[in-house]
Amino acid sequence: MLVSREAQAAGSTIKDAATGRYLLVREATGDIELTAPGLGMVTLKEGDSYQFAEVVTDLRMQITNPNATAVTWQLEISNDEIKPGKQSVQVNTTSIIQGANSVTNVGERTIPAEGNALIIAAAAADTSRTLRLSIKSDEPGGVYLGAASIAAGQGGYLEPGMVDYVDCEAALYAYNPNASPVVVQVLPFERALT
């Protein structure tokens, strides 16, 4: 939040209210005096900052120009720390989270003993994808998940009887450290990003 005055008259006091924890004097052509309940009076100049012990809501403050000439000033008050020379930007966004609008039937993937194999190819460009990965509990062991060169002890690990959901648009491979093949079930949920 920015509070400012152009050419506040010498000796005059204005009242304002703000909410925040951090205060920075972004601009001041002379000293200004800030008075607020529980704060007392603080003299500030350009570049000075002040940190309250906690976020103060509806801070009733008085700003006095103690100089013999008019002063132009600008204060920034924020819940987040402000540092001199940095600009503060406040952005409001609205996000719409949409689930998948496409499910593809993919056959089980058998990962050879002590080998690696492709579980699923990369998603199409401009497609968001979540994978449901599982290994039935009667399989001989788990597999490591990762890139084409995945090996034991790398990437993520999927155990027998486990189900995991992974957001992954890239190709996904598995390495089987076991002496027997392991079957992995894959179900991709996708949404075209338009």
Domains of the chain: 2-78 (2.60.120.10), 102-192 (2.60.120.10)
**Phi-psi category of residue 171: left, alpha or beta, with phi > 0 → left and psi -120 to 50 → alpha:** beta
Which residue is listed with tokens 């008085």?
62
What local confidence, expressed as pLDDT, does residue 184 receive? 97
Residue 77: partners with Cβ closer than 8 Å, 6 or more residues away: 1, 2, 3, 18, 19, 20, 22, 23, 24, 59
**pLDDT given for residue 87 in this prediction:** 55
Residue 117: its pLDDT value, please? 96
CA distance 130 to 21: 40
Could you tell me which residues are beta bridge partners of residue 36? 40
Distance between CA atoms of residues 61 and 13, nearest Å: 10
Q: Would you write out the chain's pLDDT as a tens digit for each of its 194 residues? A: 777 778 889 989 888 887 888 888 888 899 988 887 767 788 888 888 878 777 777 778 888 999 999 999 888 888 887 766 655 556 677 766 677 788 888 889 999 999 999 999 999 888 889 999 999 999 999 999 999 999 999 989 999 999 999 999 999 999 999 999 999 999 999 988 87
Collapse the DSSP code of 113 into the 3-class scheme (helix H, G, I; strand E, B; otherwise coil) and give the result. Answer: coil
